[in-house]
Amino acid sequence: MVKFATNPGMETNKSYTILAGTNKGLVEVDLAVDGEPKFTHVHFKGFSVTMIYRDTRNNRWWAGIKHRHWGQKLHYSDDLGATWQEAKIPTYSGYLLPDGNKAMLRDIWCLCQGGTDHPDRLWMGTDPGGLFRSDDNGNSFRLVESLWDHPSRREENQWFGAGSDYPFIHSIVLDPGDSDHLYVAVSCAGVFESKDCGNSWIPRNKGLIAAYLPNPNAEVGHDPHHLLMHKENTDVLWQQNHCGIFHSKNAGLTWDHVSAKKGVPDYGFCLVIDDHDPAKAWVIPAESDECRIAPGLRLQVYQTLDYGGSWEEVSTGLPLKNTFDIVLRQAFARKGNLMVFGTVNGNLYYSEGNEIRWQTISTTLTKVNTITIVD
């Protein structure tokens, strides 16, 4: 353990709760200025926690739990984790996959609140590539058939698995100024936009590269690894893609490839962006889809301050030799000036303040699947 050392730009008298979903439970850590990180609780001990989401409208915590024998489960807490209730999971009953097999829920990848003007609406992304919507705060979910039946899903090389047998929806971003406007990211298919609350969908992949397809510039068939919308300038979107880092300044109409020219950073899974400045982003690279290890066996973080025009390594405090760690798409989080990430080897790090300097919270966890910061 290390002290939460003073760092320029740090918010004084500030405390945070870090929720780390691991392969063996949901680890809760309290992090306070001038104190030591404190492990306060392990929820769902022994079970794989694959999704964590905090609904800021009502402060409800949601957890997706993957049981080896019982499959996917969904739980929520309305008292900051003191108690948990099991929710009804969505069902694919009666729906078929394009190959004719019965669709079955395999994983819950993500949740997204549906806007302050719809306090009981939630969106859920799943494997096998289905988007669900709830209008009763998660008491029930229904499949969004307009995306499930999108014509592109029936075409060869347009919707397919990437590290999974079937496509999956891992990112949902909602326009804070328009609750009918949202994007989803599908691996593999690409980014889709709806402006009518999910009644219709338009692919938004112009400028992306799918190097693994016969036509790298195909309209559908791309592999975004993580998608984010800037909170204040909602025309700005960022994504870490299988084929590089991209951003859009025109609400996804076109994408610009902004990976570093020397190749690092380029491939990876995770991405965070600044709350106020849309030009600032941070990534943690991995070495190729074949290897999936830290590039050069160095755990590295890179930042750009100019929309990817240039990249700078900001890895002070991290192990820079003999490390095989990588960071999964949901396991890197930023809130204010605090950044936290967890690795597949169970290491947990944070940096707080304008000067990026990483400190270790733990080296003894199991694989970290997801990180959420609560203030």
pLDDT tens digit sequence for 250-289: 999 999 999 998 889 999 999 999 999 999 999 999 998 8
Give residue 9's pLDDT: 52
DSSP state of 152: G
The two structure tokens encoding residue 2: 């290390």
pTM (predicted TM-score): 0.94
CATH architecture classification, 46-325: 7 Propeller (2.130)
Q: Which of 227, 272, 224, 215 is nearest to 251 (CA)?
A: 227
pLDDT confidence of residue 32: 82
Query: What integer pLDDT is reported at residue 330 of this predicted model?
Result: 98
Residues 6+ apart with CB under 8 A from 44: 25, 26, 63, 65, 75, 84
How far is C-alpha 309 from the chain's CA centre?
24
Q: What is the pLDDT of residue 92?
A: 96
Nearest CA among 150, 118, 146, 119 for reference residue 132: 146
Residues of the chain short of pLDDT 70, as ranges, are 1-13, 33-35
pLDDT value of position 331 = 98
Query: Pairing mode, if any, of strands 71-77 and 85-87?
Result: antiparallel
| Confidence at residue 164, expressed as pLDDT on a 0 to 100 scale | 80
Output the pLDDT for position 155: 87
Q: What is the pLDDT of residue 33?
A: 61
